[in-house]
Amino acid sequence: MRTSHLFIRVLKILGLGAYFTFALGPIIWIAMMSLKNSNDVIASPPKFVFTPTLENYKAITVGQHAQHVETLRPDYPKYFLNTLIIASATVVVSLLLGTFAAYSLARFSFRFKEDIAFTFLSFRFAPELMVILPLYIVFQKTGLNDSYSGLTAAYQLVTLPFLIWVLRGFFEDIPREIEQAARVDGYTWWGVFRKISLPLVKPGVAAVVILSFIFAWNNFIFSMILGGERTQTITLGILGFIGYERVLWGQMAAATMICVIPELILAFFVQNYIVRGLTFGAVKG
């Protein structure tokens, strides 16, 4: 009995070890890569031991030239800023549009309610290009291509259904009787919404905002097709380090780290809501 227990424990530890090596190995490798100089990066076989340098980070942020290696013009800060602008604007617009819709879908019963709700959801399950390609043509005609406002509008497809569904779940979690109590206490529905419902879903809203921001930040396909030189986002920028004529692994790694670290920090704040968010509120984790 005892020995088999021990055996199972060892097996468990081995299993977890294997999985987490697989899960974290690539990130650690990229982090290491971002600290390698241009020779170490392309060393074959790859180097595990090297002298760390920040030259990749310098190259992509302030454009400092490293020895013998051509660097891109440091567009990276611009991409970063672009993404920041578009993702923030997207979240703000979604929040303005979505909060009331979520509340209304959570609290009131009206005709077509479930149909409307499912239509929102169905965009989550549609192939992105199905909407983006025609949108591209519409944008070309209206001149919205490569504009912040155009991208912000298009990004609603990423964040709005998500925000509505998850927030709806949070509103549904408020016991109905609490709102009824406030009605009886003499408040209009608007007063109840402002004084009771909204404060109670505050943590939910915070989580939804952060997750929406991350999703917008991570998006690639929208900005690839609908964006352009002016509005190029960070994901597209990172892809740009790998071209036909040159491959800048080290700078790509550094750009990746800069792109990823802020959102990982954000994600850790809302990790308790992540399952709920990723399943559109289906699992209340």
Partner 1 sequence: MADIVFQHVRKCYGDHEAIRDLSLEIRDREFFVILGESGAGKTTTLKMIAGVESVTSGTILLNGRPIENLTPEERDCAMVFETYALYPHMSVYENIAFPLRAPGRRIPENQVEQAVLRVARILGIDPFLDRRPAALSGGQRQRVALGRALVRRPAVLLMDEPLSHLDARLRNEMRTEIKAMRESFGTTIVYVTHDYSEALALGDRIAILHQGSIEQVGTPSQVFRRPVNRLVAESLGDPPMNFLAGTIALDQNRAVFATGDMRIPLPDGPRLRRCVGKEVYLGLRPQHIRLERHRPDTLFSLPSKLFVQELLGDHTVASVSVKDRLFTVLGKTDQAYSIDEHLYVTWAPEHMYLFLENTGETLLAEGD
Partner 2 sequence: MTGYALRTQSPNPPHRSLPYLLTLPALLALIGILYPFVLGVYYTFTNYILTEPGNIRFVGLTNYIEIFKTLDFWKAFSLTFVFAGSVVIIELALGLGVALLLKDAFPGVRILRSLLIIPMMIPPIVSALMWKVILLPTDQGVLNHILSFVRFPPIAWLGDSATALLSLIIIDVWIYSPFAILIFLAGLQSLPKEPYEAAKVDGASGWFMFRKLTLPLLTPCIVLVTLFRLIDSLKVFDIIYATTKGGPAGATVTLHIQSYFEAIRWFRMGRGMVYLFVLWFLCFIFSKALSRLWTKVLMR
Residues in the site for partner 1, rule: CB under 8 A? Answer: 175, 177-178, 180-188, 191, 195-196, 199-200
Q: How far apart, in whole angstroms, are the C-alpha atoms of residue 178 and residue 176?
A: 5
CB of 16 to partner 1, least distance (A): 36
Whichever of 23 and 199 has its CB closer to partner 2, that residue is 23
Cβ atoms of residues 231 and 81 within 8 Å:
no
What is the chain's Cα-based Rg? 24
Interior angle at CA 77, CA 74 and CA 81, nearest 5:
150
Q: Kindly state the smallest distance separating residue 185's Cβ from partner 1, in Å.
A: 4
Residue 183 CB neighbours (<10 A): 13
The least distance separating partner 1 from the CB of residue 39, rounded to whole angstroms, comes to 59
**Binders of partner 2 in range 114-173 (CB under 8 A):** 114, 116, 119-123, 125-135, 137-138, 153, 156-157, 160, 164, 169, 172
CA pair distance 131, 121, nearest whole angstrom:
15
Does residue 73 contact residue 63 with C-beta atoms inside 8 Å?
Answer: yes
Say how far apart CA 73 and CA 25 lie, in whole Å.
Answer: 31
Kindly identify the residues of this chain, within the stretch 190-209, that bind partner 2 according to CB under 8 A. Answer: none
Instruction: Say which entry of partner 1, partner 2, none residue 208 contacts (CB below 5 to 8 A, set by partner kind).
Output: none
- List of residues 6+ apart from 165 with CB closer than 8 A: 102, 117, 120, 121, 124, 280, 281
Compose the 243-282 pattern: x for residues touching partner 2 by CB under 8 A, - for all others.
------x--xx--x--xx--xx--xx--x--xx--xx-xx
- Give the three-class secondary structure for 247: strand
Task: Indicate which of partner 2, partner 1, none lies near residue 220 (CB less than 5 to 8 Å, by partner kind).
Answer: partner 2
Give the tokens for residue 36. Answer: 């390698």
Looking at the Cβ atoms of 64 and 180, the one nearer to partner 1 is 180
Task: Indicate which of partner 2, partner 1, none lies near residue 52 (CB less than 5 to 8 Å, by partner kind).
Answer: none
- Least distance to partner 2, CB of residue 268, Å: 6
Nearer to partner 2 by Cβ, of 46 and 64: the residue is 46
Instruction: Give dist(CA 230, CA 143) in Å, integer.
Output: 13
Residue found under tokens 């609490």: 178
Rounded to a whole number of angstroms, the minimum distance from the CB of residue 199 to partner 2 is 18
Dist CA 216 CA 228 (whole Å) = 17
Does the footprint of partner 2 cover residue 188 (CB under 8 A)? yes
Binding partner selected for residue 147 from partner 1, partner 2, none, CB under the kind-specific 5 to 8 Å limit: none
**Selected binder of partner 2 within 6, 7, 20, 194 (CB under 8 A):** 20
